[in-house]
Structure 1
Amino acid sequence: MPLPENNLLFGFEPRLTVEQREYVDAIFDKQLVMVNAKAGTGKTTLAVACAKIIKKPLTYIFNPVQESSMGFRPGTQSEKESIYYQPLVDALLEINENPTQCIYNEETLANEAMRRKVSIKRAMDGVWCYPKSPVFLRGTNLKDMTIIIDECQNFSVQELRKILTRVHDSCKIICIGHSGQIDIPVSKSGFVPYMEHFKDQPYCKILTLSTNFRGDLANWADAYRAP
């Protein structure tokens, strides 16, 4: 089914472009949505807004780093990872959700439980977002959740296979990326190959978003092509 009738999607619905409305409807209607869209098109914010309405736990899989380099960054594991899921934080703020209350963070929860003198389970009331690196997905099962794979263009074929082969049919998956913003060797990116691989499956919808809403400066910067 498309976006539930009379749902304003946190105020976005009256202002959605035709492309954005097709994207939102596909999230509710299909098991797998793959969107190829440049920066500023609202792809992550709309995906997180839909996840909130779907009311399943959200697993947000962020742009991977080299497994060997993750351990050399300063700070705790959560602190090391937090810079990679800033788009999730920004999207939550756009829908008036408090990121510190709804994003799972082991250290924050322990401190909150101590402050309130309650159990960790009680302190987790309101938590529904679980950021994850694909580094730690090996051997796991992904069930009964909404999954957003962000910056999908920077995942290799092997990394995307590792994620997607762990997904049960009770999940909804949203792959977000832009084929024009690949930061790894283009030949290694699995984003376009997997869009081609899934394009004819009835449970999949592949879309593009073309309007950058950040303004003239961002649009002009995006239009630059190196000589």
Structure 2
Amino acid sequence: MPLPKDSLFFGFDAKLTDEQRAYVNSIFDRQLTIVNAPSGTGKTTLAVAVAKLLGKPLVYVFSPVEEGRMGFRPGTQREKEAAYITPLTDALYEIGDDPEKAIYNPENLSSSKRGDTWVYPMSHVFARGMNLKGKTVIIDEAQNMTRGELKKVLTRIHTDCHVIIIGHDGQCDLKDEGKSGFVPYIEHFRNEPYAAVCELTVNFRGKLAQHADKLRW
């Protein structure tokens, strides 16, 4: 089931590049889609847009880089998460959804009672012991997760979930880039019939951002 032909896709349909359309169709068609793409290519926005159309609750998994960091940051859980879910909130704005209503907030349950809430952010730190059923799962900035951290999330996922692993092998924030599990998992799943690996190359933020991304350290 690719992108429905009668869908305007939040205004994106006519603007999609061939790469983006293949990415979007893969999310509909496969249980697992892995996208390796630099910043500004629309990878998170398109994943959130498809998740909205799929109609399942969205679990948005992020990495605080250092596993213990979430517990030591000051503030409420929502305030701790805010620094890590900016790509999610930006994507929700892009599809015309209000993050304050769409994202679950344990400090404000009124939106949940109205039925507006459909997005549940979660650090991979809290994934152990969970069962993810009937969800769309976005694992964002996956290049900042180790093999063990990605394994901890992926082994919680049931067959009725759609999963999108988003990352860029050229932008790892781990102190030891060799510990990243992103590229190893690309190769681990590449030839599985229920999985697809996609790449996006067009940076829509412009020449400055695209040229900056080419610098390696």
Q: Given the two structures, how large is their TM-score scaled by the length of structure 2?
A: 0.96
Distance in 1, Cα, partners of 2:195 & 2:77? 34
Deviates more, 1:41-50 or 1:69-78: 69-78
SS of the residue aligned with 1:107? coil
* Residue 186 of structure 1 pairs with residue 184 of structure 2: no
Give the partner amino acid of 2:167: G
Residue aligning to 2:83? 83
How does 1:3-14 map onto structure 2 within 5 Å?
3-14=3-14
How does 1:72-221 map onto structure 2 within 5 Å?
72-109=72-109, 113=110, 122-123=113-114, 125-184=115-174, 185-221=176-212
Contact 2:139–2:165 (CA under 8 A) maintained in structure 1: yes
Task: State the Cα distance separating 1:73 from its structure 2 match.
Answer: 1.2
Distance in 1, Cα, partners of 2:16 & 2:33? 18
Change (3 A) 1:225 1:136: closer
Give the partner amino acid of 2:183: V
Q: Which runs of 5+ in 2 are unaligned?
A: none
Q: Which runs of 5+ in 1 are unaligned?
A: 114-119
Task: State the Cα distance separating 1:75 from its structure 2 match.
Answer: 0.7
Change (3 A) 1:178 1:122: same
Distance in 2, Cα, partners of 1:44 & 1:23? 11
Task: State the Cα distance separating 1:81 from its structure 2 match.
Answer: 1.4
Task: State the Cα distance separating 1:39 from its structure 2 match.
Answer: 0.4
SS of the residue aligned with 1:126? coil
Q: Given the two structures, how large is their TM-score scaled by the length of structure 1?
A: 0.92
- For residues 103-159 of structure 1, the C-alpha deviation after alignment (integer angstroms, 9 at most, x for no partner) is 0011122xxx4xxxxxx8524x11000000111111110000000000011110000
Residue aligning to 1:38? 38
Provide the aligned length of Structure 1 versus Structure 2.
Answer: 216
Distance in 1, Cα, partners of 2:169 & 2:69? 25
Contact 2:65–2:145 (CA under 8 A) maintained in structure 1: no
Distance in 1, Cα, partners of 2:112 & 2:211? 48
Give the partner amino acid of 1:54: L
Change (3 A) 1:225 1:188: closer
Task: State the Cα distance separating 1:3 from its structure 2 match.
Answer: 0.7
Residue aligning to 1:117? none
Task: State the Cα distance separating 1:186 from its structure 2 match.
Answer: 1.8
* Residue 69 of structure 1 pairs with residue 60 of structure 2: no
- For residues 16-41 of structure 1, the C-alpha deviation after alignment (integer angstroms, 9 at most, x for no partner) is 00000000000000000000000000
Residue aligning to 2:17? 17
Give the ranges of 4+ consecutive aligned residues of structure 1 lying more than 3 Å apart after TM superposition: none
SS of the residue aligned with 1:71? helix
SS of the residue aligned with 2:83? helix
